[in-house]
Amino acid sequence: MHWLQTSTTGLLLLCAVAIAVLLFLIIKVKLEPFIALFISGIGLAVAAGLSVEQMVGTALASKESLIETGFGGVLGHIALIIGLGTVLGSLLERSGGADVLASKLIGIFGERGTPVAMGLVGLIFGIPVFFDIGIFVLAPLVYVAAHRGGRSLVLYALPVLAGLSMTHAFLPPHPGPTALGGLLGVDLGWLIIMGLLCGLPAFAAAGILFPMWIAPRVQVSVPEEMLVAETEAEQEQDRTPVAPVSLALVLGVIAVPLVLILGATFGTMLLDPGRLLSVLTFLGNPAIALTIAVLLAFWLLGIRRGMRLEEISEFTGASLRPVGMILLVVGAGAFFGSVISATGVGAALAEVLADAGLPVLLLAYVISCGLRIAQGSATVAIVTTGGIVAPTLGDGYSQPELAVIAVAIAAGSIILSHVNDGGFWIVSRYFNLTVKQTLATWTVLETVLSVTGFAAAAVAWAIV
């Protein structure tokens, strides 16, 4: 046992066994991912010989335990950001911003360019809105566009899905990239920059070029009941006395936090210390920037347009309910990573990488891909990979380099979505696809998005 706890090979073997146990608990036992991550982390800590005081602390000691530092460290960084981002998304959703965005873009691009317009809707609306919520909101617009266009539903659905998936994987304030900011110590401004630089080419390949090629080969019609349901929903919406929202307002609210965060990032790079830099740093803190955007959205998208405070409170509160499970998964993943660091597995892995000459970027992507394919959850793949890779990085990487590594992990977390991924079944259900058709469209789209995103990250890595 001593050999396992002290040798490089032994530590790596313990880590491999812990990951195998994690996958078994999630895939076979069907345990909640955050419980599986916690159990695997505790098991690795015990097997590696960490003391009880290190793992759980004592009643008398003031030193924090791995459980407290692992969970608390990353949640202190991301909990407020994810919560505020969720509230902002719910306000944009309820305001009818998606309908305005879609109608304006379709008007600009015309009937032939409707698939491109739908992709841009998914891309823009996906910045503040969770992936599955984005599907629920935008699916009716896809049905209408496909019905009017008279072509396969696939041609209009895939661009939207590519936009939603790209933003969900690559950009804050979504849980995965936000968690990576905490795990790897990356400024969210750099994550936004690198996420856009790598994600936009991936979106173009997966959301524009691929749908044009696959749509003629997979003919899918819009179910009649979907169109009927949408008509009834529109009639119900017409009875709600709320003023219409403008496109400029929707884009402005989405842009506010991004501009403030990027302002702080570029200010740090370009300005000398002083009052202006202090103001930019304060306003560009992600929590402050999102709070400002949420307050603006409360007034401009809600109260000013006739919504009651009780109504706003009700739907924003409802939007936060799924966040608890996300935060538990991220916290448990961070704990797993803390155990990996404390046991020396990270140092052992760094030693092996140095000897083998394997690039850390490729390692991060491959590990993330493997975890994604094995258990299905992108968030679990991200936080577990972040926990494994973070201890190997040390202090030798710049913020842009760390952001590119985060993008590589994010890219791996979306590859090859198949039957063990909840998103696979949501896409199948909402867009009238058989399992075979979903594999030929959605699964390939996610893989193109992943591979192209990683290729862009590799180019960025060579430059930075």
Tens of each residue's pLDDT in the chain, 464 residues: 555 555 667 777 887 888 888 888 887 888 888 888 889 888 888 888 887 777 776 655 556 677 777 777 667 767 888 888 888 888 887 888 878 888 888 888 888 899 999 999 999 988 888 888 888 888 888 888 888 888 889 999 999 999 999 999 999 888 889 889 888 989 989 999 999 999 999 999 999 999 999 999 998 887 766 655 444 444 444 444 456 688 888 889 889 998 998 898 888 888 888 888 899 999 988 889 999 999 998 988 888 887 888 888 888 888 787 777 778 887 887 788 778 777 777 667 666 665 666 788 998 998 888 888 877 788 888 988 888 888 878 778 899 999 999 999 999 999 988 877 888 888 888 888 888 999 999 999 999 999 999 999 999 999 98
- Number of Cα atoms under 13 Å in the Cβ half of residue 45: 24
Task: Provide the pLDDT for residue 161.
Answer: 96
User: Angle at CA 8, nearest 5°, toward 368 and 35?
Assistant: 45
Task: Provide the pLDDT for residue 239.
Answer: 41
- Number of Cα atoms under 13 Å in the Cβ half of residue 401: 12
Query: What stretches of 256-412 adopt beta strand conformation (E)?
Result: none
Q: Does residue 181 contact residue 139 with C-beta atoms inside 8 Å?
A: no
- Nearest by Cα to 311 from 81, 95, 5, 82: 95
Task: Provide the pLDDT for residue 238.
Answer: 43
- Reported residue count of the chain is 464
- Alpha-carbon distance of 343 to 83, in angstroms, equals 32
For 12, other C-beta atoms within 10 Å of its C-beta total: 16
Task: Provide the pLDDT for residue 233.
Answer: 44
Task: Provide the pLDDT for residue 387.
Answer: 83
- Alpha-carbon distance of 113 to 161, in angstroms, equals 17
Q: Does residue 378 contact residue 176 with C-beta atoms inside 8 Å?
A: yes
H-type helices in 344-377, by residue range?
345-356, 360-375
Please, is 59 exposed, middle or buried when counting C-beta atoms within 10 Å of its C-beta (0-12, 13-18, 19+)? Answer: exposed
Maximum Cα–Cα distance for the chain, whole Å? 72
Helix (H) or strand (E) holding 30: none
Q: End-to-end distance of the chain based on CA atoms, in angstroms?
A: 43
pLDDT tens readout for residues 44-67: 888 888 877 777 766 555 566 777
The model's pTM is 0.82
Domain ranges of the chain: 9-53+63-463
Helix (H) or strand (E) holding 224: helix 224-238
Burial pattern 87-122, b for ≥16 Cβ within 10 A else e, equals: bbbbbbbbbbbbbbbbebbbeebeeeebbbbbbbbb
Please, is 314 exposed, middle or buried when counting C-beta atoms within 10 Å of its C-beta (0-12, 13-18, 19+)? Answer: exposed
- Eight-state DSSP code of residue 145: H
